[in-house]
A and B are shown apart, each in its own frame.
Chain A
Amino acid sequence: MRAPRRSVVRRTVAVAAVLGTTLTLAACNQAAGGGAASSEEFPSKTVDIMVPAAAGGGWDSTARAMQKVIEDEDVVSEPVEVFNVEGGGGATGLSQLQKDEGDPHALMVTGLVMIGALEQASSPVSFEDTTPIATLTSEAEAFVVPSDSQYESIEDVVAAYEKDPASVTFGGGSAGGSDQLVVAELMKAAGADPSQMKYVGYSGGGEAIAGILSGDVAVGVSGVSEFESQIEAGDMRLLAISTAETQEVAGEEATTLQDAGYDIDFSNWRALVAAPGLSDDAKEQVTEVVDELHGTQGWKDALEANGWADFYKTGDEAQEYIDSEVDRVAALYEDLGL
């Protein structure tokens, strides 16, 4: 998932409002009849999962996969709705979530990319203004080159960069997103200066792949699943993936950055958060539902189908992880001079 930009996914839109309003109205009626919301069982009404980005991206697939599994496996008795709120790399959605303070039915999908976007947009709202429920998935970043590239390994790329940073053009999702951050992290680990990086940002996976195949971009960086079919078809060569743990990509075990000698464990994680100000009891109940979702076969299948790794942390563990990521991204932004 990358911060939505206008050029490609322009007309994909959030239909939040009309749907959302109707649901909220319905919910209000229900709540009025059924007493105080906090003492109720969760869920007592429709569960809304907000996707703070356009339809069709990574957060969107995560939310829709959750919805599918919850409904297929009857995890909860109430319906689950997914809606999109586009804007500001997630900042618009996050500020909208503030309106539902204390309501466990208002959930939002988020992830690493949002940290950078909030930083970039100098957003007045931050991750502190949510109730983290669980981290769900992570996806390794892949470094790829066109199959006729001179670079045979990630070390070749680093060596070329050390010699002349301007000789290597990196390309991936929007500038300042996770794709650029992982390159910064690599160069930092290799002892080179990340601020010299030449990076071309694209607004969607499609455009980025076209940029790599056309030769505008020498080294492509994005989520593994974005490139998998190109790697399989032999159009691209995988140099390395960014996680510490290896995985199979297009039928072969991938080299990790750590294998190549760079101390990096970087993954594009996605998480589920609730509106701010949830009571401990409500948080517990939402977590139970997510626990059950996580245990289903349907969720395992969805992970597999999308090429996501299981990255499940809840409670304090999730909170700590997110906090540490916020600090890490802030430091990388500093290094990049963004």
Chain B
Amino acid sequence: MSQFGDLMGGFATVLSPEMLLFAVIGVTLGTLVGVLPGIGPAVTIALLLPVTYGFESPIPAFIMFAGIYYGAMYGGSTTSILLNTPGESASVATAIEGHEMAKRGHARAALATAAIGSFVAALISTGLLALVAEPVGRLAVSFRATDYFALMILALVTVTALVGSSLVRGLISLLLGVTIGFIGLDGISGQPRLTFDSPVLFNGIDEVLLIIGLFAIGETLYVLVKGRTRPGQVTPLEPVRGGFMWLSRDQWRRSWGPWIRGAGFGFPFGVLPSGGAELPTFLSYSWEKNRSRGKQEFGKGAIEGVAGPEAANNASFSGVLVPLLTLGLPTSATAAVMLAAFKIFNLQPGPQLFEENSDLVWALIASLFVGNVMLLALNLPLIRLWVKVLEIPRPVLYAGILVFATLGIYSVSGTVTDILIAYGIGVLGFLMRQFDFPIAPTILGAILGPELENQFRRALNVGNGDLTVFVTRPLSLAILLLAAAALLLPYAPRIVARLRGKDPEEAKKLAFADED
């Protein structure tokens, strides 16, 4: 068990006062960045790169950067839960149930399950990173375009739970997202699409714009219009009885499963070079909604719907580090900036890194553990402070949200045009709320649509336009069959019943999509 010895060596490096100080700076900055809309961990790290030029060793820099990333993930859930204004795509799934919980007076429990879940998932996934990085990294790069396409299809058919109470509304919302996702230069041929010849739209609509527009601005407009007809205050916070760390015994019991399953979704998607942090959160949400015993509570604030996605988005980061450290492949924006940082210190991540710079790698891994302990210690007491946000009078609160949202967009793009686009999307978000369309499928569509298309066309390009490429490769075929099963299985009882000539209405109760 040489890894264990190496890891202990890593801890020895990290547990010095100086390194701990950098970890504290990182997690604090990261939490702030996570709470503020628009500014993400990648930008923050890029901004801090020059600060690290003066460091003699890269270790403190990486400790700080890892803290920023995880901190942003912890912080991101806070605004999603309290205000229904996620600042980034990985927190969108959290907002769905999290905000409902907050509205019903369970804000503290939602924040606690998010923080503890993030912690648990980070421990699990960092453990996996330490143990199986090498073989898992190898496996991940064997995924081909056809496999990704199949995987995206599987994701698409299994996230039906996001769609909400009306299938038609959900699908319209999803297709709206797909359409928005297609705006810009086509990824394969470079042809402009839906840009109306405006160079402003050549790069498409940034995901951050879409999220801030649909959520922060849309929500503000909605509250502005509906404010008078709705009660002025949310339900007062309910006291937690007989619990531990803001969670009642029952909530603990309902949270731990989703935490572990969330980590199980997050880590592998993080490892895949075209995986991402959003899909596992949506998958985890759907899984919990369909499996949970508190199913009837979904849509009204089910704790499982917060615990799972939050665990998933944190676990994906350790996953992202697998291809970065073992193969030198940056698979997310943050990883790309970290790769740049490695190069500044004359380090080349890749197959040799574990051998040549094992001190650094293990210190980094150890710092992930340390950072998460700090974040838990930072975030649990902060819950007491965060929930005070709910007591701020609405006009002041939403004015503040609008200011931060606008600043966030401006910091992303530096152009006024983008602010106008975001406000336009905000009006769309308002209308969607007004007419009861779910928001999350739009985000999913904007992320998944273009990726699905890219992988599909890549696969066809490689296969000389032959559609059979999707079924001749065993892995792709297996995933597609799984997708077909996921789509059809819920209806199986109904089909069987009909074949037997029984009343289909009775069997329908077992169906997967019975709320539609």
Contact = CB atoms under 8 A, between A and B. Distances in A.
Interface of A: 4-18, 20, 54-57, 60-61, 64-65, 67-68, 71-72, 82, 84-88, 91-92, 95-96, 120-121, 123-124, 166, 169, 174-176, 198, 200-201, 203-207, 209-211, 213-217, 228-230, 232-233, 235, 305-306, 338
Given A8-B331, A232-B352, A209 B141 contact: yes
A5 B185 contact: yes
Contacts of B192: 121
Contact of A56 (B46, B187, B327, B349): B46
14 contacts: A5-B185, A6-B450, A10-B207, A12-B46, A15-B46, A61-B340, A175-B189, A203-B187, A204-B330, A204-B336, A206-B328, A214-B141, A216-B144, A229-B352
A306 B350 CA distance: 15
A227 B42 CA distance: 24
A54 to B, nearest CB: 7
Contact of B187 (A6, A11, A17, A67): A6
A176 B464 CA distance: 20
A232 B454 CA distance: 30
A198 B46 contact: no
Nearest to B336: A56
A88 B202 contact: yes
Contacts of B350: 229-230, 232-233
Interface in B420-461: 450-451, 454, 458-459, 461
B462 A229 contact: no
Interface in B306-364: 323-324, 327-337, 339-340, 343-344, 346, 348-352
Given A213-B142, A305-B343, A20 B188 contact: no
Interface stretch (B165-173, B217-225, B408-416): B408-416
A87 B329 CA distance: 23
Contact of B143 (A15, A72, A198, A210): A210
What 3 pairs between A and B have smallest CB-CB spacing?
Answer: A17-B414, A229-B350, A56-B336
B232 interface: no
B188 A201 contact: yes
Contact of A17 (B42, B334, B410, B454): B410
A120 B184 CA distance: 13
Main secondary structure of the interface of A (DSSP, over half): mixed
Contact of A229 (B328, B413, B461): B328
B414 A61 contact: no
B458 A10 contact: no
Contacts of A120: 185, 190
Interface in B461-505: 461-462, 464
B53 interface: yes
A85 B329 contact: no
A206 B413 contact: no
Nearest to A210: B273
B372 to A, nearest CB: 21
Interface residues of B, number: 70
A89 to B, nearest CB: 8
Given A8-B336, A55-B337, A14 B413 contact: yes
A209 B348 contact: no
Contacts of A121: 185, 192, 199, 202
A166 B465 CA distance: 10
Given A17-B413, A120-B190, A175-B190, A206 B343 contact: no
A82 B50 contact: yes
A245 to B, nearest CB: 23
Given A11-B42, A209-B141, A338 B199 contact: no
Given A13-B208, A166-B464, A8 B332 contact: yes
Contacts of B348: 228-229
Given A169-B461, A200-B462, A214-B144, A56 B337 contact: yes
A123 B462 CA distance: 31
Interface string B34-70: 0000011011001101100100000000000000000
B333 A9 contact: yes
B461 A213 contact: no
B190 A214 contact: no
Contact of A206 (B53, B208, B273, B407): B273
A55 B185 CA distance: 20
Contact of B412 (A14, A235, A306): A14
A216 B44 CA distance: 34
Nearest to A209: B329
Nearest to B40: A11
Contacts of A203: 187
A16 B462 contact: no
B42 A233 contact: no
A291 B331 CA distance: 37
Contacts of B411: 13, 15, 17-18
Contact of A210 (B50, B141, B346): B141
Contacts of B331: 8, 204, 206-207
Contacts of A10: 206-207, 333
A147 to B, nearest CB: 12
B330 A205 contact: yes
A304 to B, nearest CB: 9
Contacts of A233: 350-352
Interface in B178-230: 184-185, 187-190, 192, 199, 202-204, 206-208
Nearest to B192: A121
B414 A16 contact: yes
